[in-house]
Amino acid sequence: MLSAVLSLNALGLAAAAPLESRQVVPHYPPTQQSKGFHLIANLTDPSQDFTPPVNSWQLSGIHVGAGLNDAVLAASKGQLFYQNGTAEQTRYNQAHTLSDGGTPLFPWGIAVDDQADTEGVLHGISINAGSGQVGIQLAQFPEHYPILRTPAPGTYVACNQTEPYYHTNYITVRAMFDTFDSTTGRYVRHVPENCVAITLVPQCAELPALPSGSMSSHEFANTVNCYADVASIDWPEYGP
């Protein structure tokens, strides 16, 4: 990108004429800061959306057993998350993403099943009681967007899948890892038939104070960069 910007500038200079002012410097949607956030699904290619469309749906957990939640997209209010870790843990991508639930409130953490690192395999995502997975946190500089990181190069996907616990279909959230093609020297992205690639984008929300007796703690809840309203961002306006 930098070289493209430089060559455009060089062209501008070579032309040596006052060109109409045109923004060639990459710019990004404005972020705000908060401790709480919802995670909004942003379809990488909106033309691939399901019917009804799920772009801008929110990450949420559905009960699939005692202390076990599976990750799905919900049309309305999703779960409220916060990023947990010391400043140093966060800086080194060693924080994790939590939500509070139950009575009294205790932490539920996002985890990606990254054991079977095989091509074409959907990796399950849980939001189970506990700390979740270290490294599942928001991306930081030099990444341009504070989206939820995947544990390996790849993408989150939204899939139309049967939830055995309910015998009905949900739009589940899974991860797909890229594979390395040694002949081209490039990473190859895989998105199965019944799935669409998404990013999970933080939308700012207030993290309420915990009632006394809670087993959760917000002592290490990070102040994160997030967007006021992800669905209203006009993406083509921005970016490199």
Q: Considering the complex, what minimum distance in angstroms separates the CB of residue 16 from ligand NAG?
A: 34
Instruction: State which of residues 34, 36, 37, 42 lies at the interface with ligand NAG (CB under 6 A).
Output: 42
Longest CA span, the chain = 70
* Whether residue 104 has a cis bond before it, omega within 30° of 0: yes
Touching ligand NAG, residues 132-151 (CB under 6 A): 145, 147
Q: Considering the complex, what minimum distance in angstroms separates the CB of residue 234 from ligand NAG?
A: 10
9 C-beta neighbours (distance < 10 Å), count: 12
Touching ligand NAG, residues 68-107 (CB under 6 A): 84-86, 89, 98, 107
Output the CA–CA distances (angstroms, integers) from residue 161 to 115, 148, 172, in the order listed: 21, 22, 6
Residue of this chain nearest to ligand NAG (CB atom): 131
Q: Considering the complex, what minimum distance in angstroms separates the CB of residue 62 from ligand NAG?
A: 16
Instruction: State which of residues 26, 46, 67, 153 lies at the interface with ligand NAG (CB under 6 A).
Output: 46
Q: Report DSSP state, residue 16.
A: T
152 touches ligand NAG (CB under 6 A) = no
CA 209, CA 231: separation in Å to the nearest integer? Answer: 27
Q: Considering the complex, what minimum distance in angstroms separates the CB of residue 6 from ligand NAG?
A: 23
Compute the residue count for the chain.
240
For residue 120, which amino acid is it?
A: G
220 touches ligand NAG (CB under 6 A) = yes
Site string for ligand NAG, 160-179 (x = CB under 6 A): x--------x----------
Touching ligand NAG, residues 11-40 (CB under 6 A): none
Any alpha helices (H) in 48-155, and if so which ranges? 87-91
Any alpha helices (H) in 16-154, and if so which ranges? 87-91
Going by C-alpha positions, the residue among 130, 48, 53 that lies closest to residue 97 is 130
What residues line the site for ligand NAG (CB under 6 A)?
42, 44, 46, 50-51, 84-86, 89, 98, 107, 131, 145, 147, 160, 169, 199, 201, 220, 235, 239
